[in-house]
Copies of this chain bind each other. A is one copy, B any other.
Amino acid sequence: MDGVERAVRRITGNDRFARMAGVKIEEVRPGYARVSMKVEEKHLNSVDITHGGAVFTVADTAFALASNSHGQVALALNMSINFLKATGLDSTLTAEATEDKLTNRTGLYRITVKDETGDLVSVAEGLVYRKKDKI
C-alpha cells in the first residue's frame, strides 16, 4: 500500500464528520486531491444558502488528503479562506487542492471550491506542519 492509499485510509477511513457532511473522494495523487459534496437540506443555513462550515469542510477534506498524500503525517496550522459565491440546495461543490510548496517540515496548498457551473465558490490557502511520523 503506497502513501496515497495510506493517506486516503487515514483521512477518510473513519471520518465521522466528513461522512455526516456527505463528502465524497474523487481523486488523490501525491500533492493533489479532489473531493465533492452535493448540497442537501442539512447543509443549509437559516437563509437557505450553503453554510460556511459546510464549504470549509469540503475544502478541508481536499486539503487533508493532498497534504497527507506523501505518506507523512501533516497537521493543519492555518487556513485562510475567502467566500466568493453563495450556493444552495442541489448545487454540487467540488474542492481541489494543489501543492504550492513542500519542504521537510511544512506544506502549502491552494484549495479551490467550485460549483457545478464551474464558478468559484471559495479560494483558500492551507498550511501544514509535517511530522516525522509516517502514516
Chain A residues engaging chain B, CB cutoff 8 angstroms: 9-18, 20-21, 41-47, 51-54, 56-57, 60-61, 64, 75-85, 100-101, 103, 105-106, 108, 110, 120, 123, 125, 127, 129
How close is A9's CB to chain B, nearest CB, in angstroms? 8
Of the A-B pairs whose beta carbons lie under 8 Å apart in the complex, a sample of 17, sorted by A's number, is A10-B46, A10-B47, A11-B45, A11-B46, A16-B44, A16-B45, A16-B51, A17-B42, A17-B44, A18-B51, A57-B57, A76-B83, A78-B78, A78-B80, A79-B80, A82-B127, A127-B127
- B100 near A120 with CB under 8 A, answer yes
Assembly stoichiometry (copies): 4
How close is A25's CB to chain B, nearest CB, in angstroms? 12
Roughly how many angstroms separate A60 CA and B80 CA in the complex, as a whole number? 13
